[in-house]
A = this chain, B = another copy of it.
Amino acid sequence: MEERLRLIGETRYHNLHPFHDMLHGGRLTKGQVQAWAINRYYYQSSIPLKDAIIVSRFTDRLIRVEWRHRIEDHDGAPESEGGIERWLQLTDGLGISRDYVESTQGILPATRFAVDAYVHFVRDRSPLEAIASSLTELFAPQLHEQRISGMLEHYDFIRPEIMTYFKRRLSQAPRDAAFALDYVKRNARTPEERALVCDALLFKTQVLWVQLDALYHAYVSGFPPPGAFRPQVEA
């Protein structure tokens, strides 16, 4: 099963998406990077909701304790920032109003539907599938490294301090992924359960891919839907 999961990563993970090539290769305009960031914010801000639902699916206290740290990783604590705050530092650095970002009013409906599908998935499917859907974190560190170096190299409007979200994920994601992988290996005991685990990962790769397809169509091909964020035309 682990082989199948890694094959799904090699063929479906969104590091393969043309929008990411452009983002990391410096071929997007600042407006397109802004669009990416405000849409990503919706995904990021939904992760604690998704993880709280997963915590609610387990009667096993130790699993709840382990999974709960993820909520703190993103939400932070009274005295320390979390991933969401670091994401807002990115959007600050890109010159976008925090109120606008947090309102989510400019995001693509496709982003909303994809992210909400992820939240509904962990609510409606089995606890095993809910944990399995997080396994894209197995493939994230490499992508984050490419992103940090690529964006710093190519965009003069990207400074190192606004890339802190991704630097923190370099250490957090492997720990989270290791727990989730161990959990599914121990708890998927039948061929049907192993197929469900693989399908859950496949589903999650679709959640990520759909968001980039929608960004490409709206902001690269030039078809922003009614009501969505419109980048300022650069002089």
Interface size for A (C-beta < 8 A) is 25
Q: A18-B223, A116-B117, A116-B120 are in contact. Are A109 and B206 (CB under 8 A)?
A: yes
Q: How many Å lie between the Cα of A11 and that of B116 in the bound state? A: 25
Q: Give how many copies assemble into the complex.
A: 2
- The interface residues of chain B lying within 8 Å CB-to-CB of A221 are 217, 221
Q: Secondary structure at chain A's binding surface: helix, strand, loop or mixed?
A: helix
Q: Is the CB of A209 within 8 A of B226?
A: yes
Complex CA gap A25/B18 in Å reads 30
Instruction: Decide yes or no whether A218 CB sits under 8 A from chain B.
Output: yes
Which residues of B are found within 8 Å of A21, using beta-carbon distances?
Answer: none
Give the nearest-CB partner of A213 in chain B.
B217
With an 8 A cutoff between CB atoms, is A196 at the interface?
Answer: no
- Kindly state whether residue A42 has any CB partner on chain B within 8 Å: no
Q: Mark A208-231, 1 if CB is under 8 A from B, else 0.
A: 011001101110010101110000
Pairs of residues from A and B, 10 with the lowest C-beta to C-beta distance, nearest first: A109-B206, A217-B217, A113-B113, A113-B117, A110-B210, A113-B114, A109-B210, A12-B226, A213-B217, A209-B225
